[in-house]
Amino acid sequence: MPRGERPLEAESGPLRDFAARLRKLREQAGGPTYRDLAQRAHYSIAALSAAAGGRQLPSLAVTLAYVRACGGDVREWELIWRRTAAECAAERATPTSVPGRAEGPTDASPYVGLASFQESDADAFFGRENLTARLVEHLRRKRFLVLFGASGSGKSSVLRAGVLPKFSGEPALVFTPGARPLEECAIHLAARARLTPGAVAGELASEPRTLHRVVRQILAGSPDAADELIVVVDQFEEVFTLCSDARERDAFVSALLHAAHAPDSRCRVALAVRSDFYTHCTRLPALVDALAEAHVPVGPMTLDELRAAIVQPASRVRLTVEGALLAALTADAHGRPGALPLLSHALLETWHRRRGNTLTLAGFQAAGGFEGALAQTAEAFHASLNDAQQTVARLLFVRLIALGEGTEDTKRRVPRHELDDGHDTALVLEQATRARLLTVDRDHVEIAHEALIRCWPRLGDWLGENRERLRLHRALTEATAVWESLDRDPDTLYRGLRLAAAKDLPKETLSARERAFLDTSEAAEQAQTRRARHRIRRLRRLVAALVVLLLCAATAVGHALRSQQTVTAQRNHLLALQAVETSAALRTRDRSLAVQLALAAYRLESNRTTRNGLLSVAPHTLARHVHGLAVTPDGRRLATAHDDGSLRMWDMTDPRDPRLLGTTHDHPDSAHTLAFGPGGETLAGIGEDRAIRLWDVTDPSRPHLRSTTPSLHGDFVFSLAMSPDGRTLATGSYDDTIRLWHVRDPARPRFLRELTGHSLNVKPVAFSPDGSVLASGSDDRTVRLWDVTDPLRASTTAVLRDHDDFVVGLAFSRDGRTLVSGSDDRTARLWDVTDPRHHRRLGRLHAHTGMIGYVEFTPDGQEVITAGQDGTVRLWKATDRSRPTERALLTGLSGGLAVVVPLAASDTVATLSNDHTIEIWNTDVAWVLAHACSHARTPLTPARWTRHFPGLDHRPPCPGHD
């Protein structure tokens, strides 16, 4: 009989309550012994017993292992743990007032937290000595450096605290580009050269040599006769996320390159760029040629480097790091390229909770652990505010984020004048700065590090509530700035649909400047409306006069009738087009009104535009926060990978009533690519960790992970595909290679062969229906066909060349005779590959205004589906492969399309957009007409009808929904 647990102390508190809940969970699981729990959780009996002991808060990892062993809800318990950690921290009156803490040299923290190291922190910057030496040597030899690394990999710190001190005799210019990179550069140059920023900015825009000349002028007037100037452009990705002027972006890059490469150059240039913006950099022609010689990647720290970064700053101020803490920190941070700000913040919070002169594992756990420390700090800041201040904080932090378009969200540097000057705003700024969540200077505000976006769940929830509304608000902010910069020019005001959409934004989210802009826009539109009404009255009087004349001219009656019919038809055409445009703008905000407007427009005039408008307003949303999507070969089941690491299986036999079949949490992070094997019994997936995972989904209600295997690729894995016989798996990677795997036994995948031949990133891969041919697309603008009849002897049989940009999507028809390829050149191409060695170009599909990221054939092979970054899905009749024609267009998908797949149900497709939402669409007009009114909550009132269809009798399209 198992020994009973020691009773908990009578005194209540967060630790006792936490332990009591753990014990109750164990009782609900049937009271298993701790020996049984240890076997399930893979932790020692002592660790699990101490977790429910109530004396100290266990680590998050031990807690979740305990919960899994008892069958509890892991996500719920993670929230419980973080809340308890915050309450324990709040119980301490002063975080640094730990008994026995050493004073004197340890009063100043040796760690910088979320902030980047600066040049003044060089003495406390450890762990990146090898990388620093490489960068210094590179700059001395080549003058131009582009440093690529994940967010949080330490790019800014190594340039500021590592590289710049090595050039201590030379002046440096360090800045971030912001929304106006030329102006930002001009301000810093002018300050050094004692010139007027406006004049320098104008010359930079018109002449790339200006930067080179001003640098020489600065050095000529330098009192210490410096030989060189170092220009460091940190967060270079802002030229893509914040700068909307392509000409200014190109001029800025040209100026930097000329300054570094001029024959008499006295300037060295270093750019720090997030690695997920590498593709954006390759789209700048001036930068592409320079990247080959200037590109240096920043990877994660080695174990020795991590130990140095943890221990040596503490040793400088006579502190010691407990061995158990060092082991925990290195285990958490090793191999994670974006972990350094989390590590630094966790160390800072652990320093606040040190015991004497020692940083302890207990202090680290009380701070919330590796990722929890940042979330706990943010939550403590949020909890310290009253309700009104919490609302101000939410609006402030959301305003400081630039929403990603196909990339992760990034921080946004905001001018102080963009914020209101209220008391609550000032208090929130002060508190957030004190908590080191924000960085505030005289002119700008920004979040301390992008790690906060990833690790503070509350901020993630704020950003996920309504991304379309956030984009609308961000556009309003930019429009307000343009209006003010042009002395409130009335031509820059909002009108029509843009004004109507912006007026729906909650008033409390707007700054005083933005409210003034909207008020002025509304007043201008009302004045315009009054003028239009005056014109209409004049026209009516004129029409009355014409009627009198027409009555006097009996012979003109027939002509008048025909004219009336023409005017009526033209009016109806215009009203129908306006209703379609309005319905598209309302789709995400008022589905009921959008559907009824589109339906009324189609009934008023049936044409291609109104038909597409009707198809585009009535999708069914299946799931959100999704990063990967795959469909079984028969189109009856879907697999979805979510951002919480879960994998879900769906029955799509009836698309109007999808059923969740099963869920598993075997994936540590969200998979971005999924693929089913033949029969839908095996599912393959790959995520950010580049590991191949194979699930047995024979029973979709209980997906079972069979194996996890490193992909062996040296860079991001873009795609994977399963052969029709289920024996072979292919993966395409940014390391320019394809790898083939034997997966007949999903429990023991075996590497077969690496395929080389592409000169740039490999993106899509696809097997032919008979499995004998593998197609691969690449950034080198080619499609390669490989003979994989024997995967161990696979070889290239053909190279297809017709695209002008990256190849992003590939698919074979069901008979294997036709291949479709989608490209960044905004076109898709059809190829006859009946005999791959003698392939032929067929039709060209061109209507998208952005990259075509996904292509597919319908099950009957009669149509091709293309999805683009312009937020549209197009269906093409391809019975004549040489002359495909567009049949249907679906619009209004926010953020562009990631995946589109046809389902078993006729004329039905599922889409996964870049805002991580899955929607189900029907492209049969007759079906949509029959079911459209199911989306209508209330019919169109006479007032609303007159607003959208003036001059027409009130005929609501869904009158039965009263």
Instruction: Count CB atoms within 10 A of the CB of residue 913.
Output: 21
In degrees and rounded to multiples of 5, residue 676 shows phi and psi of: -90, 150
pLDDT tens per residue across span 251-298: 999 999 998 888 888 899 999 998 878 888 888 888 888 888 888 888
List, for the chain, all residue ranges whose pLDDT scores fall below the cut of 50.
1-3, 92-106, 961-962
User: Can you point out the beta strands (E) in 328-432?
Assistant: 358-359, 401-402, 410-411, 414-415
DSSP string, 317-357: TT-EE-HHHHHHHHHHHTT-TT-HHHHHHHHHHHHHT-BTT
CA 906 to chain centre: 32
Contact 186, 178 (CB under 8 A): no
What whole-number distance in Å separates Cα of residue 336 and Cα of residue 473? 34
Contact 400, 440 (CB under 8 A): no
Contact 529, 522 (CB under 8 A): no
The reported pLDDT for the residue numbered 1 is 42
Contact 697, 683 (CB under 8 A): yes
Using only C-alpha atoms, the chain has a radius of gyration, in whole angstroms, of 31
CA 582 to chain centre: 28
Element (H, E) at 149: strand 144-149
Contact 741, 692 (CB under 8 A): yes
The reported pLDDT for the residue numbered 466 is 62
What whole-number distance in Å separates Cα of residue 924 and Cα of residue 611? 10
What whole-number distance in Å separates Cα of residue 380 and Cα of residue 352? 14
What whole-number distance in Å separates Cα of residue 350 and Cα of residue 338? 20
Q: Hunting for tokens 């005083």 — which residue is that?
A: 512
Contact 856, 901 (CB under 8 A): yes
Q: Hunting for tokens 């319908």 — which residue is that?
A: 858
* Domain 805-916 CATH class label: mainly beta
Contact 326, 293 (CB under 8 A): no
The reported pLDDT for the residue numbered 106 is 44
CA 857 to chain centre: 28
What whole-number distance in Å separates Cα of residue 386 and Cα of residue 384? 7
Query: Under CATH, what is the fold of the domain 128-298?
Result: Rossmann fold (3.40.50)
Name the 3-class secondary structure at 175: strand
Torsion (CA) 537, 542, 546, 547 in degrees, nearest 10: 20
What whole-number distance in Å separates Cα of residue 206 and Cα of residue 186? 13
The reported pLDDT for the residue numbered 336 is 65
For residue 515, what are the contacts with CB-CB under 8 A and spacing of at least 6?
507
CATH code of 14-91, in short, is: 1.10.260.40
What whole-number distance in Å separates Cα of residue 802 and Cα of residue 781? 8
The reported pLDDT for the residue numbered 97 is 36
The first and second tokens of residue 67, run together, are: 């919960």
DSSP string, 853-890: EEEEE-TTSSEEEEEETTS-EEEEE-SSTTS-EEEEEE
Burial class (CB in 10 A: 0-12, 13-18, 19+), 32: middle
Instruction: Count CB atoms within 10 A of the CB of residue 316.
Output: 13
The first and second tokens of residue 939, run together, are: 């019919």
The reported pLDDT for the residue numbered 469 is 67
**Among 690, 643, 692, CA closest to 665:** 643
What whole-number distance in Å separates Cα of residue 890 and Cα of residue 568? 29
